[in-house]
Amino acid sequence: MTKIARVETFLVAPRWLFVRIETESGIIGWGEATCEGRSETVRTAVDQLAELLMGQDALRIEDHWQVLTKGSFYRGGPILASAVSGLDQALWDIAGKHYGAPVHQLLGGPVRDRIRVYGWVGGDEPAEIRDQISAQVEAGLTAVKMNASGRMGALASVAELDAVVRRVAVAREVLGDQRDVAVDFHGRFTVANARRVAPLLEPYRPFFLEEPVVPENSHLIGEVVRCTTTPVSTGERLYSRQEFLPVLQAGIAVAQPDLAHAGGITEVRKIATLAEVYDVQLAPHCPLGPIALAACLQVGFATPNFLIQEQSIGIHYNLGAEVLDYCLDKTPLTFVGGYVSRLTAPGLGIEVDEHAVRTADKRGHAWRSPTWRHADGSFAEW
């Protein structure tokens, strides 16, 4: 029987929330509902939504998604969407294991046999950036992402603008012309600053400029798109097709939904199809754990307009645990030459170390995102 018998959540280091669904026949599915800094709140939401799933057929994934997202009066937002995401991923994992196939086979089959991945690099000073990028290159990655800046004023000084340019120039020098660097504005820039900086970075050919405006200012992103020839990306804090539609219409080149925030595999697959109508590529946001990464890859193997996959092995947030620490077999998520090969095991394609998860949940975590202000004291994003 594929009726749902149990739903559990696990708050594990460094900052992740895992979801486990078990059927009456003993099939176990795993998902990730991490909402960085708000995972305890999401945990409560998962518990409430689980009431709608108990005793139901786990294989009715689309029907469950519709009920979970549209069955109550209040809809949307990062908390509900993250809770649904974790449950949805776990249901797809169960479906794959029930049918004996990886999830991408259930989504129509593979359109590629490997996916390019990139890693994040930190460092405020050019020397630090040089060292961190060199380490990623030595690890075999062919693409990295870096923050454009730390704090800056709402209208940046010449020195602040020049510092952004110097950082990206160093990245390009280290990477050469055969590798890529994406530049993450992280919602820290005002529209005015983004419009000033974007043209200055064009000589260094960024892969894309990420989140140049905060999500509540998505109606302004077209101004940034029009001021530069560099591709513009956004989407880690957009949670549905309806929220992606305006930025697609505004001319972004890369859509970045997060599979732990944007309704899971079910909704991100639909976002990808909508993006294809606008000739936009998919590059899911994923500075999270192994389950979210596996879900992203399953979508990627079945999505024609998939560009590249973010992954967070070694990222500075990973204090207390690393991405692969909760995997019994680390081989499926091993990168060779900057790519990960197609996952072939049933479900999400990874085997979660349940003992490690349950042990980590006893310790829990209380990770919080930093409070961010512009250098002049006004509020921005982090």
Q: Which of 64, 98, 261, 285 is catalytic?
A: 285
Q: Which of 35, 116, 94 is nearest to 348 (CA)?
A: 94
Please tell me the distance from the alpha carbon of residue 333 to that of residue 27, in angstroms, as a whole number: 22
Residue 211 sits at φ, ψ, to 5 deg, of 45, 60
Q: Which of 9, 48, 15 is nearest to 31 (CA)?
A: 9
Q: Residues near 73 by Cβ (< 8 Å), separated by ≥ 6? A: none
* CB 73 within 8 Å of CB 18: no
Distance separating the N- and C-terminal Cα atoms of the chain: 46
Residue 285 appears among annotated catalytic residues: yes
Residue 186 appears among annotated catalytic residues: yes
Distances in Å between the Cα of 165 and the Cα atoms of 116, 199, 232, 288 are 26, 10, 17, 28
Q: Which of 186, 261, 365, 374 is catalytic?
A: 186
Structure-token match 């509902």, residue found: 33
Which residue(s) pair with 266 in the sheet?
none
Q: Which residues are catalytic?
A: 186, 285
